[in-house]
Structure formats: structure tokens, C-alpha cells
């Protein structure tokens, strides 16, 4: 079923790569500049099928997820959703996930390289009395994101009109051309957009219909460039055992008054005593530099570069910078390259 989708993508110029997690992804459609332009002036289409989809069902599902991550699940009604961060017992980051509550389940969209870890983590915390069931839906479903200012008009062409101006992660199951598709507000980046989740058997048809409606296919390489430019933290780069969600500036994912959950004590203490020692920022760079390079001011190390990309307007990176060193406008050195700290749209200020 996914092979048919890949055949269509290959015919449209896609080149593929295998991730370390073994998923095959379209890296580029040979149209990177056009795809970037579509995210700014039209609508681009990104295949997120290699991302994980985990379903949590049964009667204790909301209480269970409430206890496992940073956001408030107990207030979610069917059709609503939120971003949340899964953390360790010491509040170190594991993954930034998006949750969609339905009538009888919660669907988590998680990073490709965190699916198995999260399945194991969640399974470990299900106790005999818990009425919770975990199902990995990754291989039986697909996920696409449409992003750009024309996304709403594009969805209108295929009959989706109910989600315009709705809050982030609001979602609805729609029937389109004989396909049952869950459409949610938000594309995973700071651009306006939507995410569509459907059965794997409908993958090729859904992709074809979205392209026919005017979406410009976009490869993983462009997504990676955009996520760095916009400041979306990623596992193994910004989300690791070295950092917590406050340092990653994922403030929109944290509910301080929700009660006890894994990592809650550490996060509450950091917030109460203003104990955040470093924060994630964008860095405009004068040249290319490797992630992991120290960020310095004079002889003093003030941070570390975590991601790097080259954009049409120059070189750009993400870095954790010591809070006492300063923030936006700070002039720094990253290895042999000069840089300026800038804000990025994805992160809470």
C-alpha cells in the first residue's frame, strides 16, 4: 500500500533515503525552492508517514496520559488536541508529541526516532488495574501535512470547511472521495496548515487528490530546513537527556497546576525558582558549522550549537545559550564562525 504511494512520489521526481529507524522517506522532489515558496505563498505537502502514530484507548486513557506528560489531558474533549512533552523522571526531554482526543481514544503523533521508545515507556507505566490499551498504528495509517497560507483554500477544494479558524489541534473525521480522513489544525511547524491521518490503504489516492487540488510536494530535506529556521526542537538534537522542556522553550506544552506527573517536581521547581540556566535560540551564522560546536563570547563558553542548516538567506542554526549570557541580539562565536542570536517563531517567548 505504501509502495503505491512511493511509486507515485517517484514518478513526481522524489528521491528516497532510509532513516536509521529503517523507514523510507522522500528526501526531495527536485523542487526544494518551489516547495519553500509554497510554504510562504501557497500550500506544500509533506509526507509524515514515517512519524509514529500510537493509539491509547480504554476508559483510563486521559488520566493515564495526564500522568505521563507535561500537558493537561483531563480537560480534553473529543475533537480537541494539544502538544505535550514526554520527559524522564528528572524532567529531561524524550519527545515533543501532538495528541488528538477522539470519542474513544487518544491518537499520538510522535517523532520517527522515538516511537519504539515511547511505546516501551508507556507500556512500562500501565499497571494491572489500569484500563489502558496501547496500539501502534504506524504501519496501518499514513500522515500528511499541508502547510502554507493557501492550506485552508486547498482543503476547501476537497470539501473540508469546518476547521477554518479553529484552535490548534482541533480535528474532525471527514469522508472524502470514499476515504475516512482525520483532519487536524496545525502542521507541526509555525506555518498555517493541517495534518491529515488516514488508513494506509488510502495513501496513494489521498496524496493524488491533494496534489490535484494544488499542493506542492515537499521532501524531508525542506522540512528539516524549516524546522531549524523556525526552532522546532527535534529528538537527538535539541530534545535529549541534557535538556528539559523549559530550556527548550516549549512553554505551550506545560500545565503547571495539573498535579503530579512524571518529571513534575523538577519542572515546578525550575519554574518557581527561575532555575532555567540555558534556553534554546536561533543563531544567524556567517558560515557553515557542525552541530555540537561550542558557542563562545570571547574565551567563555556560553552554549552549544545543536542543529545547522543552509537557507536561501544564509546559514542558520539552533543553540542552547546560557541565560545569563543574554538572548536576542547577542553576538557570539560558533567555532570559527560569527553569529547573532535571534528569536524563532515556533518557541514560546
- Using one digit for the tens of pLDDT, what is the confidence trace for 66-116? 999 999 999 999 999 999 999 999 999 999 999 999 999 999 999 999 999
Q: Residues 310-330: what's their mean pLDDT?
A: 96
pLDDT digits (tens, 9 = 90+) for 45-59: 999 999 999 999 999
Q: What pLDDT is stored for residue 167 in this prediction?
A: 97
Instruction: Categorize the per-residue pLDDT at 348 as very low, low, confident or very high, splitting at 50, 70 and 90.
Output: low
pLDDT the model gives residue 56: 98
Q: Which helix (H) or strand (E) holds 4?
A: helix 2-11
- pTM for the model stands at 0.97
pLDDT, average across residues 28-44: 98
Contact 287, 315 (CB under 8 A): yes
What secondary structure letter does DSSP report for 71?
S
User: What pLDDT does residue 310 have?
Assistant: 97
Confidence of residue 199 (pLDDT cuts 50, 70, 90): very high
Structure confidence by residue, pLDDT tens digits, 110-136: 999 999 999 999 999 999 999 999 999
Nearest to 56 by CA among 95, 120, 104: 104
> Vertex 326, ends 322 and 328: CA angle to 5°?
115
List strand residue ranges (DSSP E) for 137-285, in order.
141-147, 171-176, 179-185, 193-199, 216-218, 278-285
Report the candidate in 149, 215, 206 with the shortest Cα–Cα distance to residue 179: 206
Tens digit of pLDDT for each residue in 209-239? 999 999 999 999 999 999 999 999 999 999 9
The strand pairing partners of 58, in sequence order, are: none
**The C-alpha cell that represents 126 in the structure block:** 500501565
Amino acid at each position: 500500500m505504501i509502495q503505491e504511494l512511493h511509486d507515485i512520489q517517484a514518478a513526481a521526481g522524489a528521491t528516497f533515503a532510509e532513516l536509521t529507524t529503517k523507514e523510507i522517506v522522500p528526501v526531495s522532489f527536485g523542487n526544494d525552492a518551489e516547495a519553500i515558496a509554497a510554504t510562504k505563498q501557497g500550500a506544500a505537502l509533506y509526507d509524515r508517514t514515517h512519524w509514529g502514530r500510537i493509539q491509547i484507548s480504554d476508559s483510563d486513557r486521559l488520566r493515564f496520559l495526564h500522568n505521563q506528560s507535561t500537558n493537561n489531558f483531563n480537560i480534553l474533549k473529543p475533537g480537541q488536541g494539544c502538544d505535550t512533552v514526554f520527559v524522564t523522571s528528572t524532567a529531561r526531554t524524550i519527545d515533543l508529541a501532538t495528541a488528538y482526543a477522539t470519542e474513544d481514544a487518544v491518537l499520538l503523533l510522535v517523532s520517527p526516532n522515538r516511537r519504539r521508545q515511547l511505546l516501551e515507556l508507556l507500556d512500562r507505566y500501565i499497571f494491572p488495574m489500569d484500563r489502558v490499551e496501547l496500539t501502534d498504528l504506524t504501519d496501518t495509517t499514513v500522515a500528511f501535512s499541508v502547510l502554507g497560507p493557501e492550506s485552508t483554500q486547498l482543503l476547501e477544494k476537497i470539501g473540508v470547511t469546518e476547521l477554518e479558524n479553529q484552535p490548534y489541534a482541533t480535528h474532525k473525521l471527514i469522508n472524502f472521495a470514499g476515504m475516512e480522513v482525520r483532519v487536524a489544525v496545525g502542521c507541526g511547524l509555525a506555518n498555517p496548515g493541517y495534518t491529515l491521518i488516514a488508513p494506509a490503504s488510502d495513501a496513494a489516492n489521498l496524496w493524488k487528490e491533494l496534489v490535484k487540488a494544488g499542493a506542492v510536494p515537499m521532501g524531508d530535506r525542506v522540512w528539516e530546513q524549516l524546522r531549524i529556521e523556525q526552532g522546532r526542537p527535534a529528538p537527538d538534537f535539541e530534545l535529549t537527556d541534557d535538556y528539559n522542556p523549559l530550556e527548550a522553550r516549549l512553554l505551550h506544552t506545560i500545565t503547571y497546576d495539573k498535579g503530579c506527573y512524571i518529571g513534575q517536581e523538577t519542572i515546578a521547581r525550575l519554574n518557581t525558582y527561575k532555575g532555567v540556566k540555558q534556553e534554546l535560540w536561533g543563531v544567524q551564522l556567517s558560515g557553515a558549522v557542525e552541530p555540537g560546536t561550542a558557542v563562545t563570547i570571547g574565551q567563555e563558553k556560553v552554549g552549544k550549537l545543536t542543529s545547522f542548516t543552509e537557507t536561501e538567506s544564509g546559514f542558520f542554526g539552533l543553540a542552547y545559550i546560557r541565560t545569563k549570557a543574554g538572548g536576542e541580539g547577542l553576538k557570539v562565536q560558533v567555532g570559527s564562525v560569527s553569529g547573532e542570536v535571534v528569536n524563532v517563531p515556533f518557541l514560546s517567548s
